[in-house]
Amino acid sequence: MRLTEDQIAFIRKSAFDLAGAGTRVRLFGSRLDDNAKGGDVDVMLELPTPIENPALLSATLSARISRALHGRKVDVLLSAPNLMRLPIHDVAFRDGQLL
Amino acid sequence: MTGESGLVPRLQFLARVVRKECTHLALTDQRLFGVETTGSKFTLAHAKQLELDHDLAERVEAFVGRFSRLQDTLGDKLLPLLLSALGEKHSAMIDSLDRAERLGLLTSAEQWMTMRNLRNQMIHEYVEDPLILTNALQTGHAFVPSLLSAGTKMLAEIDKRGWT
């Protein structure tokens, strides 16, 4: 996993601040590949309850993490009981690692 | 102001573009979210209607296009030029946004980046979950005053410096 401990701590804290402490945070995509370089950060939040403002939540969290990572592109995918489950979610659940 | 030639005419040109883009965004915002179109709230029912209601789909398209263009003109073109005219060193986008926040030209750098991220979620052909599309458009509508205000503040700064 190509994230420092400080970066992981920041991502977790930001996710809990914006989405609640019951949220699980999972990293998936190219940042799991220790041999790759650079690349976007793909994060999935697993929310136990329905989310009212999903677009705002993922846009805000992505902005906050991106700022902390000096402008690196960050994609935030949400999994919640009221949201559709798409093939990208299957990939994230299958390959992703909990932070 | 640096002695760089062509800076003022370029600022003036972008200022004229921004004025038009602000007017057009305000107009399409009203036409999409106004009472006579969506009862002032774009709902899940509207999102689900987009494949069939071509007029509504075109209004959404116009809103997203104008929102995006204004943000790009302000953030990618006018702001770097304005900061340079104010004698600030050229820097990465994220630092320019922080400077703009400190100068009071926009509400916050984080909010600016949030608006930028939101745009990808407003594209109805691309976003498959109508709940996310609906919330993205509602949130985009809520951000319009903030985007217009950034435009107004940058234009006021240009006026104040006598570059008009």
* ipTM of predicted assembly, 2 dp: 0.93
pLDDT at B146: 97
Contact flag A84-B128 (C-beta cutoff 8 Å) = yes
Between CA A24 and CA A31 the distance in angstroms is 18
Taking 80 as the threshold, does the pLDDT of residue B35 lie above it?
Answer: no
pLDDT at A65: 97
B87 or A80: which leads in pLDDT? A80
Q: In Å, how far is B15's CA from the nearest CA of chain A?
A: 27
Contact flag A67-B94 (C-beta cutoff 8 Å) = yes
Contact flag A55-B132 (C-beta cutoff 8 Å) = yes
Q: In Å, how far is B40's CA from the nearest CA of chain A?
A: 18
Q: Which candidate, B137, B118, B115, B131, places its Cα nearest to that of B56? A: B137
Question: What integer is the mean pLDDT of A82-94?
Answer: 97
Q: In Å, how far is B114's CA from the nearest CA of chain A?
A: 5
Contact flag B129-A86 (C-beta cutoff 8 Å) = yes
pLDDT at B36: 76
Taking 70 as the threshold, does the pLDDT of residue A52 lie above it?
Answer: yes
Mark which residues 104-123 of B lie under 8 Å from A by CB: 109-111, 113-118, 121-122
- Judged by phi (left if over 0) then psi (alpha if -120 to 50, else beta), residue B6 lies in left
Q: Which of B110, B118, B132 sits opposite A67 (nearest CB)?
A: B110
For B121-143, give one letter per residue: b (16+ CB within 10 A) or e. bbebeebebbbbbbbbbbbbbeb
Cα Rg, chain A, nearest whole Å: 13
Between CA B68 and CA B93 the distance in angstroms is 16
Distance of CA B128 to the CA centre of its chain: 24
Contact flag A83-B93 (C-beta cutoff 8 Å) = no
- Judged by phi (left if over 0) then psi (alpha if -120 to 50, else beta), residue A20 lies in left
Contact flag B129-A66 (C-beta cutoff 8 Å) = no
Q: What percent of chain B lies above the pLDDT cut of 90? A: 80
Q: Tell me which long-range contacts B6-13 makes (C-beta under 8 A, separation of at least 24).
A: B7/B81, B7/B84, B7/B85, B8/B85, B8/B163, B10/B81, B11/B78, B11/B81, B11/B82, B11/B85, B11/B158, B11/B163, B12/B158, B12/B163, B12/B164
Between CA B63 and CA B28 the distance in angstroms is 6
Contact flag B109-A58 (C-beta cutoff 8 Å) = no
Between CA B116 and CA B68 the distance in angstroms is 8
Q: For residue B133, which residues of chain A lie inside 8 Å, CB to CB?
A: 55
Q: For residue B109, which residues of chain A lie inside 8 Å, CB to CB?
A: 67
End-to-end CA distance of chain A: 10
Taking 80 as the threshold, does the pLDDT of residue B46 lie above it?
Answer: yes
Q: For residue A60, which residues of chain B lie inside 8 Å, CB to CB?
A: 110, 114, 117
Q: Which candidate, B68, B74, B61, places its Cα nearest to that of B107? A: B74
Whole-angstrom CA distances from A99 to A27, B138, B155 are: 7, 31, 44
Cα Rg, chain B, nearest whole Å: 17
Taking 80 as the threshold, does the pLDDT of residue B140 lie above it?
Answer: yes
Neighbours of B46 (CB within 10 A): 20
